[in-house]
Amino acid sequence: MLKIDTYLDNQTIPLTEAESQELREIGRKLEINLTLENTDQGVVFSPNGLVGSAALSTRTIVIAPRYRVFDFDVILRMWHYVGFGRLDVPKSEVGATISDFSKYVVSLFLSELDRLVNLRGSYIQHQEEISHFRGRMKFPEQVVIRSLNPSRFFCVFDEFTLDNPMNQLLLLALEKVFLSGLADDRPHVIARLLKRFAFIRTSALPFSRAEIDAVINQAKSSALDRHYEFALSLARIIVLDMASAARGEGGLTQAFLLNYNLLFQDFVTRILVHFTNLDLKSGPDVDYSYWTDENDVDHRRFIRPDIVHGYNAKEKVCLSVLDVKNKVPPQKGDYFSPSDIYEVFFYSRILKAENILLIYPINMARDHYTLNLVMDDQAVRVTAVFINLRQDTSANFHHEVKRFSSAVEALL
């Protein structure tokens, strides 16, 4: 059994040259740029917010969040909410570690998909004139169709045989699971599911993150059953964040790497938009340029705050800046990190914001606290706000999300 080395997502990880090549291949398959640098001590890898595991040919590297708020339910709840706006996911019944995340997600995906395709009565059946037989034939209609076009069939079939982008995504994840070897203990389930999706084309499957996100957006507007939505969420994780070698390849076996920085930021943005009436905009909508040396274009710089409140696009000013921090929050007594204060005060000066929120994830209840600053005759209120991600049930998680959103709305 290969040894397991565990690191935090803000540490540098020493690698051999062979390991660095394997990690570069993982980055290529996952379409992410991994930070690999050559130093005097050799090649080092900086996760910069990536969490997960990579099973290399020599060892398994595990990367955990620096603030140690991690379990399967936290990941799945945030991921599912970013995708479908739902906070309810099945509670994990296994005491696994982060290195087992790929195997757990695969097991959960197969169970959810197997349950879906066996609950035929609860899903829509389609009646359609098609060129190849599937499902059940409708004989009265078939008699009429055959008299007009003998090569056509009138059939009734279930939605899992429809060749649409949502089923294509499910099939893509299913094929990736089969190739990974992570479900070799459930061969009959894999075979049964692959047979059920036999009518889905594989040549037109989406591969890029943008295309898969477009499929999820389409699914959100399709009024799907919540179990169908959760299966699509798991499929999205498998396709986007799990890299696997095909059977027979050497080296890489499997890897799961998720950008926790982006996930937490997306999650916070979406719950605040949904649970508050605040006028919020996220970073991509608030690109702001300024000059460090008058109007010299060579000295032009850009800033992109995480979230702004009350943004005036014409004047390029806002009422408040919300900075989402995927990091260990300051402990009571330390209150604020100087580097955090410098960063948000710079945002405040450029965007003329008088109110700054620093948002941290934690694993216990904690009250927010405020620091009032006056710098260069500008008064700024900086408040640390916390969201407790460690909840034992979906109901408690939903309660914490609403509590956090109400606190933010009251502060702004």
The CA distance from 255 to 180, in Å, is 10
Other C-beta atoms lying within 10 Å of the C-beta of residue 197: 20
The CA distance from 276 to 257, in Å, is 32
Statement to judge: residues 281 and 238 lie in one domain: no
The CA distance from 322 to 269, in Å, is 9
Closest CA to 283 of 302, 264, 305, 259: 305
Spatial neighbors of 249 by CB under 8 A, at least 6 apart, are none
Statement to judge: residues 340 and 203 lie in one domain: no
250 within domain boundaries: no
The CA distance from 387 to 87, in Å, is 14
- The answer to whether the beta carbons of residues 240 and 210 sit under 8 Å apart is no
- The answer to whether the beta carbons of residues 42 and 55 sit under 8 Å apart is no
What's the first-to-final CA gap in the chain, in angstroms?
53
203 within domain boundaries: yes
Statement to judge: residues 331 and 390 lie in one domain: yes
265 within domain boundaries: no
351, two tokens:
């965007």
Statement to judge: residues 210 and 303 lie in one domain: no
Could you say which of 225, 244, 263 is where a domain stops? 244
171 within domain boundaries: yes
The CA distance from 65 to 75, in Å, is 11
- The answer to whether the beta carbons of residues 286 and 304 sit under 8 Å apart is yes
Domain that holds residue 164: 71-244
Closest CA to 9 of 264, 251, 240, 208: 264
Give the distance from CA 277 to its chain's centroid.
25
Statement to judge: residues 107 and 238 lie in one domain: yes
Give the distance from CA 32 to its chain's centroid.
13
Statement to judge: residues 82 and 220 lie in one domain: yes
State pTM to two decimals: 0.79
- Please return the burial class of 46, using the count of CB atoms within 10 Å of its CB with bins 0-12, 13-18 and 19+: middle
Statement to judge: residues 220 and 319 lie in one domain: no
284, two tokens:
């991509």
Q: For the chain, what is the domain count?
A: 2
pLDDT of residue 121: 45
4 within domain boundaries: no
11 within domain boundaries: no
Other C-beta atoms lying within 10 Å of the C-beta of residue 7: 16
Phi and psi dihedrals of 306, rounded to 5? -65, -55
- The answer to whether the beta carbons of residues 182 and 103 sit under 8 Å apart is yes
Statement to judge: residues 217 and 337 lie in one domain: no
- pLDDT truncated to tens, each residue of the chain (412 aa)? 678 888 888 889 999 988 888 888 888 888 788 889 988 888 999 988 888 888 888 888 888 877 655 566 777 788 888 888 877 776 554 445 556 777 788 888 888 888 877 765 444 444 444 445 455 555 455 445 554 555 565 566 556 667 788 888 888 888 888 887 778 888 888 888 888 777 777 655 656 778 888 888 888 777 677 778 888 888 888 888 887 654 444 444 578 888 888 888 889 998 999 999 999 988 666 666 655 555 555 556 667 788 889 888 888 888 999 999 877 777 766 667 778 888 888 888 888 888 999 998 887 778 888 888 776 777 888 898 999 887 777 788 889 999 999 999 999 8
